[in-house]
Structure formats: C-alpha cells, structure tokens
Amino acid sequence: MFRYFSLAYKNTFRNKRRSILTISSIAVSLCLFGVLIAMYHALFMSQPTPGQALRLVVRHKVSLAQVIPFSDEAKVRQIPGVKQISVWNWFGGTYKDNRDQKNFFARFGVEPEAFLSIRTDMKMPDDQRKAFLTNRTGCIISQDLADSLKLKLGDRVMLKGDIYPYDLDLKVVGIFDDPDAASSLFFDWEYLRDLLPVGRRSLISTLAIRVNSTDDSPKVAQAVDAMFAESPYPTKTESEGQFALSFVSFLGNIKLFLMIVCAAVTFTILLVSGNTMAMSVRERIKEVGVLKTLGFNNDAVLGIIVGEAVCIALIGGVIGLLLSSVLMIGAGKALGAFMPQLRGLSVTPFTALVAMGLALVVGVVSSFIPAWNAAKTNILDSLRYAG
C-alpha cells in the first residue's frame, strides 16, 4: 500500500466535487467527535491538580439536596490525616437576571479562616484576605467572575435567596486567582447562619476537608463515611473533582450520552465514506482491468483504493480537528460555569490521537469491501464492464 501511496494520493481528487463534499462531511463529523471526546476526557479522565488532590468534600450519601449536621465538622476534625476543615455550604440564589447565563456562578458560604487555609492555590493580596476575615458581610470573587460581571472592590452583590428564603447583601472585599475555583463567590457562612431560624442553623450541605498528604485522602474518606454509616445522616466523602461531577449528574448519565453520540457520529462517517468509495470503485472497474493488464496484482489494487479512502479520511480528520479547536473555545466558556472541568477545553494529544485514529479506521473500513471486490474482478470482466 505504501509503495503506491503517491498514486493513491493523486487519485484522491480526480472527482474534485465529490472528494470535497466527502472531506467536508468527515470534517464536520470529526469536529463534533473531537469536541465530545475532549469533553469526555476532561470530565472523566483528567488528573486532579495538586491542590485538588489534597481536598475532599463530605456530603449526604443520598444526594446533594439532603443536609448533614453542622456538628459533624468537629467529629471529622479529630480523624487522623485531617489538616483543616470548613463548612462549604451551597447558597444558590439569583443574581440580577437568571436568564443571563453569565449571572450563574457558584456561591458558597464558608468559614473564612479555615477556608483560606484549605485553598492552597488561591492567590489574593494580604489586605484583602484580612478584609474577608474581619468583614461579616464581605465576599471574595474569582478574577474571571469580576471581569465578567464588571465588579471591583467595594461593589455590592445582592443575592436573592431561593433554597434559603433570605436575601444576602454582600460587599466585594477580595478578588482572587485560583485555577480550581473559577466563576465562584465565597462569603462568611455565619452571615447566612444568623438569618436562619434556630432549627435550621445546625444543618449544612457540605464540608470541605484538606488532608495532610495525598496518601491520606482515601483513608480519611473511608474513615469519615464509616463514622457516620449508622447515623441518621450517612455521608459520602469524595474528591473535589468527583464532587463537581455530582452537579453534572443532575443532567443525567452524561457518560452514556457522550458515548452514544460518539457512536452515532462514527456510524454516520462510515456511511458517508463507504458510499463515496463504492461509487468511486464502480466508476473505475475498467481502470482496474487496465492496471491488472499492466502488471498490478490484487494486493496493489486493493492498496491503491484503500489508500485513496485513507487520504480523504485523514484530510477530513485534520480539518475537523482544526474546526473543533475553535469550537472548544466557545464550548469551554459556555459550559465552564456549569461544569468547572470544561473550562479551558482544548484539543489535547489524547483527543487528537483518538480523532485521527478514528479517521484512519473509517478510511480503511469504508473502502475495504469495495476495494476487495474490485481487486478480485478478473481482467476480462473488468475491461468489458459497462457500468
């Protein structure tokens, strides 16, 4: 096959219109496939950052909608391997207009001193850290959120409660950079707690834990869940990345959805490419007879035809990857607020390898049967073929 690669490549564009349409179809399909594979890799296969590897989240075993007692914090703090722990309570609420996507961002009530100790990668000036520790109604926001909402130090942020029927009037006292907490706002949990009825003050949604080392993470997680296994509030302790995927699970089985769509895209590419190669081979039966007359054997004919299909598929794959790299920029920005793992979505070596591997497989599989049938046709039948 490689011996006749130049001949196969020249034949790729002998019917320019059909080749361009086929390449375009493959490129669009592989563009979508590349984006889906990149999303799958980012959500389910990416490695945690050094900071994430040291953090765990404790929530109710049943679902995020269930609460756990605030008193669990003191008990968990005594477990060997736990370096720091803080309330990490989801507030929800509405900022201005919910119909505007940029107004959706994470809003957590935390214990400022413990929280700042847990977030090892958070970068923020010392005076702003001090302001967050001392200002009861102060909040800190990520730099990207400040840019998106055009907020600066001293601005007010009004959050209208939904899960909690109370409105929060917050003042921006700090703007931070943290690769693991983009599009996020944090405020003092005590501010919200004092607004709640006495009966609700003892309940929270989650706890954030920082362990001493990565080796302690599985041990601490098992110890926490074992401690509350028989209590009225059983827990599930997971990594920060797994906790983020819990939000994604509200949309359904995302992993299955991505796999089904990828399979459908692959099947579509095979149909398009297979139909193209079948038409191309049917038009060139006499040419196959001429090639055999000139001394080309069955393997050579098979290699030339398959090589043409592979060239078309690989060209479409390269164009599709270029298109997907552009599409991923927009997808990362649009989905990043809902799925933090998708921020900065891009064509990774893994994505490129899978996409180009699929293009190669599509080229071979779609052309093999027409090429095999053409290669088996004898010279006389080929030369008198009338189409």
Which element (helix H / strand E) includes 108? strand 106-110
Query: Quick one: average pLDDT of 55-73?
Result: 91
Q: What DSSP string describes 292-329?
A: HHTT--HHHHHHHHHHHHHHHHHHHHHHHHHHHHHHHH
Query: Quick one: average pLDDT of 96-101?
Result: 73
Q: Is residue 243 part of a domain?
A: no
Residue 362 has pLDDT above 60, yes or no: yes
Query: Quick one: average pLDDT of 105-117?
Result: 92
370 plus 283 within the same structural domain: yes
134 plus 184 within the same structural domain: yes
CA gap 152, 376 in Å, rounded:
74
24 plus 145 within the same structural domain: no
8 plus 75 within the same structural domain: no
Predicted local confidence at residue 85, as pLDDT? 95
Q: Is residue 191 part of a domain?
A: yes
Q: Is residue 54 part of a domain?
A: no
Between 185 and 265, name the one with better pLDDT.
185
pLDDT tens for residues 282-304?
A: 777 777 777 777 777 877 877 88
CA gap 209, 163 in Å, rounded:
24
197 plus 128 within the same structural domain: yes
Which residues make beta-bridge pairs with 88?
110
Residue 259 confidence class, pLDDT cut points 50, 70, 90: confident
Residue 227 has pLDDT above 70, yes or no: yes
212 plus 261 within the same structural domain: no
Task: Please check whether residue 58 is in contact with residue 221, taking contact to mean a CB–CB distance below 8 angstroms.
Answer: no
| Residue 154, both tokens | 């001293």
Predicted local confidence at residue 58, as pLDDT? 94
Cβ within 8 Å of residue 4, ≥6 positions away: 300, 303, 304, 307
Between 22 and 375, name the one with better pLDDT.
22
pLDDT tens for residues 132-177?
A: 999 999 999 999 889 989 999 999 999 998 888 889 999 999 999 9
What percentage of residues in the chain have a pLDDT greater than 70? 89
Predicted local confidence at residue 333, as pLDDT? 66
Predicted local confidence at residue 242, as pLDDT? 79
Number of neighbouring beta carbons within 10 Å of residue 326? 11
Residue 219 has pLDDT above 60, yes or no: yes
Which element (helix H / strand E) includes 157? strand 156-159
Which residues make beta-bridge pairs with 208?
57, 86
- Count structural domains, the chain: 2
Predicted local confidence at residue 7, as pLDDT? 67
Predicted local confidence at residue 288, as pLDDT? 74
Q: Is the pTM of this model over 0.85?
A: no
Between 72 and 37, name the one with better pLDDT.
72
Range of the domain at 102: 67-232
93 plus 217 within the same structural domain: yes
Number of neighbouring beta carbons within 10 Å of residue 24? 14
Between 360 and 253, name the one with better pLDDT.
360
Average pLDDT, the chain: 84
